[in-house]
Amino acid sequence: MQYWFGLTIINSAIEPDHLDHWSKAAIEQLHQLELAPATRQTLNSHLRELAFLIEEQQSIDKQIKAQAITCGQQNRIERLKTADGVGHVVASTFAAELFHPERFNRPEQVAAYLGLAPMVRESGGKHDRGRLRPVGQKRLRSLLIEAAWIWRAKDEQAKAFYDRLLSRSSIPQKAIAALARKLAIKLWRLSLDPATA
């Protein structure tokens, strides 16, 4: 994206519609722009790289879906995908990392396993919830935090929860981690039984 802004300044090119989502139409508009030969060559190189990465992502997504069917996780993954912000990658990773969700008895155990439980410090009767514990499933935790941002954007209740926490702590990372924890617990419940979420 930064490359595109530099390109527009140098060539006074008009930014295609929907470039923020890299839609097919926007990419096609980039192919049609009239640019200086050296700029065109550079842009074409970037567009070929983008096409390769899109193709790789599609290939990996197909492999993940096939693996989910092979492991008998397809129904669980489809249930997980009903949550806002959760796509196939998050759902598949969650199903694979938790695998036997029934082994957890309480939501706090799931949060701790995923590294989404805050460390609690007690001193003189005060309870201070600090950083996340540096343990757990780092890859899944990162995916859940990304999914929480999407959930926040799509769901008014999630946004209100995030805003309430942000007003208390003034730390966006802390608020989004709490929302990711809430999402993880929701996904755990969906993994067990769709009626409990």
Q: How far is CA 34 from the centre of its chain?
A: 36
- DSSP state string for 74-125: HHHHHHHTTSTT--HHHHHHHHHHHS-GGG--SHHHHHHHTT-SEEEEEETT
Query: Which pLDDT score, from 0 to 100, does residue 146 have?
Result: 95
Residue of higher predicted confidence among 11 and 178: 178
Query: Which pLDDT score, from 0 to 100, does residue 81 have?
Result: 94
Question: Rounded mean pLDDT of 26-36?
Answer: 85
Question: Rounded mean pLDDT of 32-49?
Answer: 88
Question: Rounded mean pLDDT of 152-177?
Answer: 94
**Tokens at residue 9, please?**
């300044």
* Domain end marker among 24, 49, 68: 68
**Which value, in Å, is the radius of gyration of the alpha carbons in the chain?**
21
Q: Do 118 and 30 belong together in one domain? A: no
Helices H / strands E in the chain, number of each: 9, 2
Share of the chain above pLDDT 90, in %: 42
Query: Which pLDDT score, from 0 to 100, does residue 196 have?
Result: 54
Average per-residue pLDDT for the chain: 83
* Domain end marker among 68, 94, 124: 68
* Domain end marker among 20, 46, 68: 68
**Tokens at residue 74, please?**
């397809």
Q: How many CB atoms lie within 10 A of CB 104?
A: 18
Q: Do 98 and 178 belong together in one domain? A: yes
Query: Which pLDDT score, from 0 to 100, does residue 42 have?
Result: 87
85 falls in which pLDDT band (50, 70, 90)?
very high
Please, which residues have CB within 8 angstroms of residue 139's CB and are 6 or more apart in sequence?
93, 97
Query: Which pLDDT score, from 0 to 100, does residue 124 have?
Result: 58
Q: Do 55 and 81 belong together in one domain? A: no
DSSP code at position 22: T
**Tokens at residue 172, please?**
């966006």
Q: Do 133 and 63 belong together in one domain? A: no
Report if pTM > 0.75.
no
Q: Do 31 and 109 belong together in one domain? A: no
Query: Which pLDDT score, from 0 to 100, does residue 16 have?
Result: 73
Q: How many CB atoms lie within 10 A of CB 165?
A: 19
Query: Which pLDDT score, from 0 to 100, does residue 32 have?
Result: 87
Q: How many residues does the chain have?
A: 197
Query: Which pLDDT score, from 0 to 100, does residue 22 have?
Result: 77
Q: Do 24 and 106 belong together in one domain? A: no
Range of the domain at 46: 2-68
Q: Do 98 and 175 belong together in one domain? A: yes
Between vectors from CA 76 to CA 148 and to CA 184, what angle results, nearest 5°? 25
CB 65 within 8 A of CB 158: no
Q: Could you give phi then psi for residue 133, rounded to 5 degrees?
A: -65, 135
Question: Rounded mean pLDDT of 188-195?
Answer: 82
Question: Rounded mean pLDDT of 83-103?
Answer: 90
Compute the distance between CA of residue 13 and CA of residue 35 in angstroms, rounded to an integer. Answer: 8
Number of structural domains (the chain) is 2
Note the pLDDT tens digit of each residue in 106-142. 999 999 899 898 766 555 555 555 555 556 678 899 9
Q: Do 46 and 84 belong together in one domain? A: no
Q: How far is CA 30 from the centre of its chain?
A: 27
Q: Which of 24-33, 63-72, 159-168, 173-182 has the lowest mean pLDDT?
A: 63-72
